[in-house]
Structures are given as structure tokens and as C-alpha cells.
Amino acid sequence: MNPMAKTLLIVPCFNEQERLDFNQFNLFRDQVDFFFVDDGSTDLTYQKIIENNFSGLKLEKNLGKGHAIYEAFSHLKKTLNLNSYQWIGYWDADLSIPLKTVDQMISYLNLYKDQKVDAVWSSRVKRLGCNSQSLRFRPILTRLFSAFCSWTLKIPANDTQCGAKIFKTEVINKVFEKPFISRWVFDAETYLRLDQPQIVEFPLLEWVDKGDSNLSLLTDGFIMVWHVFKIKWSYSSLS
């Protein structure tokens, strides 16, 4: 495999016309191929993607982040030679995790040279030396939900939900073998689909919670908890 191979990132977008910063995406075009999926937006998101000369897919209906990423992957599988990439992943459109992190995540694996690694998940670990701007209750909610996932789904991750993850191309077909059960807890499903998952969490050096999300804490929070149980009952590895 060519060590200089580009990374392929799927960028899910729902009503992101204001938040999409194409200057940033352009800066990283040499290292990353971006593929945008417009998840049934009602604003000009898709037009902006095309106007800025990026490739993308427009879904007519809003299906939710996990389903949108799955649809994008299914499309790419038919249209691209995925084996030319070493890493394939997904990245939140608001760039709350800056794109320079892709390179940092891959370089971090120099510490894991003798180990098989299937994926690198970015992880929001607040600590000395990191540069983070968090919303007031966000870190505690992230921690609580990850602890709940870790306990219920036996996924020992610090941050299951972070929207910046890359997977080795060898495992990507397994990760996206069928649609996900959950639109928001699908990251956990990617873990459960792997046979003896070898995932490394990369402690982020920098992140910003953008805070203008369309998520509702109460409604989406309850749905996410419900989805964790649905996943628990559906994945045979957990029974």
C-alpha cells in the first residue's frame, strides 16, 4: 500500500450552508478526497458544495447522520476504486475538529507500529496542553453518554460520539456492510461490526464545540439512549 495514499472522507451535511468553510476544505485537498452527502437539507447546502467544485450526493429526504454516511459509502463503493485509499472515514461538516487532525491521527500510529490497527477515533480528552473550547455542559454529557455506551455495549472508548473517525480500507466493507440501526449512535455500531476491533483513540490536540447544532438535547438525548438499547438487542456479539 502506498504510504502517501490519500485519505477519503465522507462529510455529512444537514442544513450546513452557513457553517461549511470551503476555504478550509480546499487547503487539505492534496491530502484528502472529500465527498459531501447532503442529508435532505432544505437550504442551499448542495448548491454550495457543487459551486465550490466538490463532489457530493444529495439525498431527497433527511435520513440522519449515520444513514447519510452509509448512503454516501454505498455510492462511493460503486463509483470509486476504494483500494487506492489507505484510510476512509467521516468528518463533521462544521470542522469542530480541524482538518489538520487527519495527519496527526495517522502519525499517532507511529506509537503503535507493532500492532494491528483497524481504525483511529478522535477523542475529546480535556487535559493540559490541549486547546479546546467546549460548551458549558457538553464535556460532561459526552462523558456520561460514552460511559453509558461503554457499559451497555461493552465499548471501552472514552468518546464514542466524536464526529472524526478514520478506518483502514481493509475493514471498511465490514463497517458499512448494511445500514445502521441508529442515526446518532451508529459510531458504536461500527465498533460492534468489527471482529475483535483494534481501535486506537487519538486524544485531540484541538477542538471547538460549535454549538449551533440542530440537535435537541432532550428529544435527541432520549432517542440516543433508546437506540443504545436497540443496538444491544440487535448485535449478537452482545448477547
Ligand X SMILES: Nc1nc2c(ncn2[C@@H]2O[C@H](COP(=O)(O)OP(=O)(O)OP(=O)(O)O)[C@@H](O)[C@H]2O)c(=O)[nH]1
The angle subtended at Cα 149 by Cα 148 and Cα 151, nearest 5°, is 65
Is residue 16 close enough to count as binding Mg ion by CB under 5 A?
no
Residues that bind ligand X in the complex, under the rule CB under 6 A: 12-14, 16, 39, 62, 64-65, 68, 92-94, 96, 163, 209-215
Q: Strand order of the sheet with strand 32-39?
A: 55-59, 32-39, 7-13, 87-91, 164-168, 119-123, 199-203
Identity of the residue, 140 or 215, whose beta carbon is nearer to ligand X in the bound complex: 215
For cell 444537514, name the residue.
Answer: 14
- Binding at 211: pick from Mg ion, ligand X, none (beta carbon under 5-8 Å per type): ligand X
Is residue 142 close enough to count as binding Mg ion by CB under 5 A?
no
Min dist. Cβ of residue 113 to Mg ion (A) = 32
Give dist(CA 90, CA 94) in Å, integer.
12
DSSP conformation class of 93:
T
Identity of the residue, 139 or 203, whose beta carbon is nearer to ligand X in the bound complex: 139
120-146 residues labelled b (16+ CB within 10 A) or e (exposed): bbbbbeeeeeeebeeeeebbeebeebb
Identity of the residue, 18 or 51, whose beta carbon is nearer to ligand X in the bound complex: 18
Query: Using CB under 5 A, which of the segments 95-103, 106-114, 135-143, 173-181 binds Mg ion?
Result: 95-103
Select the residue interacting with Mg ion from 86, 96, 123, 169 (CB under 5 A). Answer: 96
